[in-house]
Amino acid sequence: MLILITNNNSQNLTKLLVVNYFVLNLNYLKISLGVFMAGKPKASKSKRSSILFKMVSTAGTGFFYLARRNPKQKQEKMLFNKYDPVARKHVEFKEQKLSS
């Protein structure tokens, strides 16, 4: 919306036009970014098919990583060779249920 106020000073009129042009451009930018940033919404946590579990170190240090997997795609238990900072070396980590 452009409001023109007529008065004898042409500088005020120029400033008013520039400000209105800037506001219109900002509104267009917000609208276009909103459309661009809008993506596919994620499924809620209750609808996710993946389960959360912990990978416990076999070195006996008690250190664990949290991981997620989809049981429909991978039924066997996971076994990874990862770094244990307590033991300061790479050891095997086995899947355990997350106690809740």
| pLDDT reported for residue 35 | 47
69-94 pLDDT tens trace: 998 888 899 999 999 999 999 999 99
Is the predicted pLDDT of residue 67 greater than 60, yes or no?
Answer: yes
Instruction: State how beta strands 64-69 and 89-96 pair.
Output: unpaired
6-53 pLDDT tens trace: 555 555 555 555 545 555 555 555 555 444 445 566 666 667 788 899
Q: What residues pair up with 73 in beta bridges, in sequence order?
A: none
* Tally of CB atoms within 10 A around 67: 17
Question: Is the pTM above the cut of 0.85?
Answer: no
Q: Residues near 57 by Cβ (< 8 Å), separated by ≥ 6?
A: 63, 64, 84, 86, 87, 91, 92, 93
Cα(88)–Cα(95) distance, integer angstroms: 20
Cα(79)–Cα(15) distance, integer angstroms: 68
- Closest by CA to 97, choosing from 78, 82, 81, is 78
* Tally of CB atoms within 10 A around 64: 16
